[in-house]
Structure 1
Amino acid sequence: MVLVFKTNVDSVAKVKKAAPKLNKIFPDSKWNFDLEDCDNILRFECKDDILEKVIFLMKVIGFECEAL
């Protein structure tokens, strides 16, 4: 399953802030940010539907995140 989110993560520093939490909470998923996209896309490859969990985590750590 591939999940795609629009975020306000627009710098490497912000990715470094989010990365440890994403890796800890979703250890079996592959994810990446596209900082060159106008929507600062976060893509997840995962086995389960974790859409709501990703949005919740990103908001908890201080970022905007919405599913596309």
Structure 2
Amino acid sequence: MIEVFKTNVQEAEQSQMIVKKLLEHFPNSTINFDLEDCDKILRVYALSICNHTIIEILKSYGYHCEVLP
């Protein structure tokens, strides 16, 4: 399963910290950012993905995150 999110993460250091935190919740996942994209894309590859949890984790660090259709 792949889920794609639009975020407002700007810096590589920020994205690395977020990936680390997300991997704590989804340890068997592949998670990455595409900060070159205008939507600052976050991609999550996992067997099971909880969109709400991902959005809430980013929100807890002050970032906006929404599922792209």
Question: Considering the TM-score relative to the shorter chain, is it more than 0.5?
Answer: yes
Q: Residues 24-39 of structure 1: matches in 2 within 5 Å?
A: 24-39=24-39
SS of residue paired to 1:22: helix
Q: State how far apart, in whole Å, the 2-side matches of 1:20 and 1:4 are.
A: 17
Deviation of 1:19 after TM superposition, in Å, equals 2.6
Q: State how far apart, in whole Å, the 1-side matches of 2:61 and 2:26 are.
A: 15
Deviation of 1:60 after TM superposition, in Å, equals 1.0
TM-score (norm 1): 0.90
Q: Residues 1-68 of structure 1: matches in 2 within 5 Å?
A: 1-68=1-68
SS of residue paired to 1:56: helix
Any gaps of 5 or more consecutive residues in structure 1? none
Q: Which stretches of structure 1, 4 residues or more, deviate above 6 A after TM superposition?
A: none
Q: State how far apart, in whole Å, the 1-side matches of 2:18 and 2:49 are.
A: 20
Identity of aligned residues (%): 43
Any gaps of 5 or more consecutive residues in structure 2? none
